[in-house]
């Protein structure tokens, strides 16, 4: 796996800067990010049964993810504002307990655009905010929840083309 060692967000004098993408071609771009929220099995059961006092947890988390993706440039200083073409969020159960007996919910967030720079940060913000929204809605019944493995799964488009995460044991949870 090769890594680009050029730090493009710093000028020659070492000052932070937004990368100039004006000479790059607009191309279709897509990124997929994921993360897991670990919780007690009873909490997951209540989420799935719609028995959380604050409302429909996954619908709220879905909306939070889309809102976060749309506002990424406001949250991360050197990100470009992108006209997102779409954001999709999918939640799946993680029924296998971890070492602490916690099950979980895994989120996959997909962000798409046609632009001059990638949408990795938008996908990562979407996944992160979805998990934080679930945490917020369930914290009164399960303060021990924990967020794990927020990561980029793959990106497509641009000069570098396709990048996919290698299968790692921790990413399979």
Report the catalytic residues.
136
Strands 84-94, 103-115: pairing kind: antiparallel
Helices marked H in the chain: 41-49, 57-70, 72-75, 120-138
User: CA-CA distance, 71 to 98, in Å (whole number)?
Assistant: 33
Distances (CA, A) of 66 to 27, 86, 140, 169: 22, 9, 24, 28
Strand partners, 10: 16
Give the angle subtended at the CA of 78 by the CAs of 73 and 79, to the nearest 5°: 40
**Contact assessment for residue 29 and residue 87, using Cβ atoms and an 8 Å cutoff:** no
Give CA–CA dist 158/108, Å, rounded.
Answer: 22
Can you tell me the distance from the alpha carbon of 95 to that of 41, in angstroms, rounded to the nearest whole number? Answer: 8
């Amino acid at each position: 796996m090769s890594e680009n060692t050029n730090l493009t967000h710093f000028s020659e004098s070492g000052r932070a800067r937004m990368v100039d993408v004006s000479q790059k071609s607009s191309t279709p771009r897509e990124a997929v990010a994921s993360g897991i929220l670990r919780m007690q099995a009873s909490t997951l059961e209540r989420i799935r049964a719609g028995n959380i006092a604050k409302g429909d947890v996954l619908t709220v988390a879905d909306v939070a993810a889309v809102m976060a993706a749309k506002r990424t440039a406001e949250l991360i200083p050197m990100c470009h504002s992108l006209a997102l073409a779409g954001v999709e969020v999918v939640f799946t159960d993680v029924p296998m307990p971890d070492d602490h007996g916690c099950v979980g919910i895994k989120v996959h967030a997909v962000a798409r655009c046609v632009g001059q720079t990638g949408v990795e940060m938008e996908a990562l913000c979407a996944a992160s905010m979805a998990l934080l929204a679930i945490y917020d809605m369930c914290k009164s019944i399960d303060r021990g929840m924990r967020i794990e493995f927020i990561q980029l799964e793959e990106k497509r488009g641009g000069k570098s083309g396709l990048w996919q995460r290698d299968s790692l044991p921790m990413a399979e949870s």
